[in-house]
Chain A
Amino acid sequence: GNSVTQMEGPVTLSEEAFLTINCTYTATGYPSLFWYVQYPGEGLQLLLKATKADDKGSNKGFEATYRKETTSFHLEKGSVQVSDSAVYFCALRRNQGGKLIFGQGTELSVKP
């Protein structure tokens, strides 16, 4: 079946550190891949997406590249800020308008 696996948290970093959150997926066909972010007290927000192999999604300094050969979509940021503290969810979708299948989420805490 279709599934998403993320690295376990919590992840604690100092401000300006480099961030990687690993995400791998299992799916038939060619899914679209997403990263969602949930800030404290807020709803889920789309952070970035990629719809085909080798696409790179980027937003707010975050990047992720769709790697079909390794079935991965790792999230990276070169220099994190305290305001990046949130829970990050990797997700896949088999077809447009279809359901999202989420990983378990990774909590990121950035210290000043």
Chain B
Amino acid sequence: EAGVAQSPRYKIIEKRQSVAFWCNPISGHATLYWYQQILGQGPKLLIQFQNNGVVDDSQLPKDRFSAERLKGVDSTLKIQPAKLEDSAVYLCASSTADQTRDRGRAFFGQGTRLTVV
């Protein structure tokens, strides 16, 4: 079974530039999460989607971050303009509410490491 796919794996940009990350969740997973993991810290939720609707974006810096999940499948996270403190690994995860052994379990992608210089 294919896992959560993310791209790119690495990105280096200058401050004030824009950047976008892409995530393809596990097929059939209705819930998609974006987490930010700053070096030396645990992941922190930025936004959670249920299909193509937003469930929780309370910790998303909406003045510079945006995310969408068109058609309830793939998702894109954008930062514009980037700041030095946005340097982090951006993790995408997905889960299903279906009555299976993995119900509610979050599966994570490998992440995108962003460096803002």
Question: Which residues of A come within 8 Å of B, CB atoms?
Answer: 4, 42-46, 89, 91, 96-105
Contact = CB atoms under 8 A, between A and B. Distances in A.
B106 interface: yes
A105 B33 contact: no
B14 interface: no
Contact of B108 (A4, A43, A99): A43
Interface in B40-61: 40-45, 48, 50, 56
Given A44-B43, A99-B45, A99-B56, 8 more contacts: A4-B42, A42-B110, A45-B108, A91-B42, A97-B50, A97-B97, A98-B56, A100-B106
Nearest to A103: B42
Interface size grouping (class) on chain B: 20 to 34
Interface of B: 3-4, 31, 33, 35, 40-45, 48, 50, 56, 91, 93, 95, 97, 103-106, 108-111
Given A96-B104, A97-B97, A43 B43 contact: no
Contact of B41 (A42, A99, A101, A105): A105
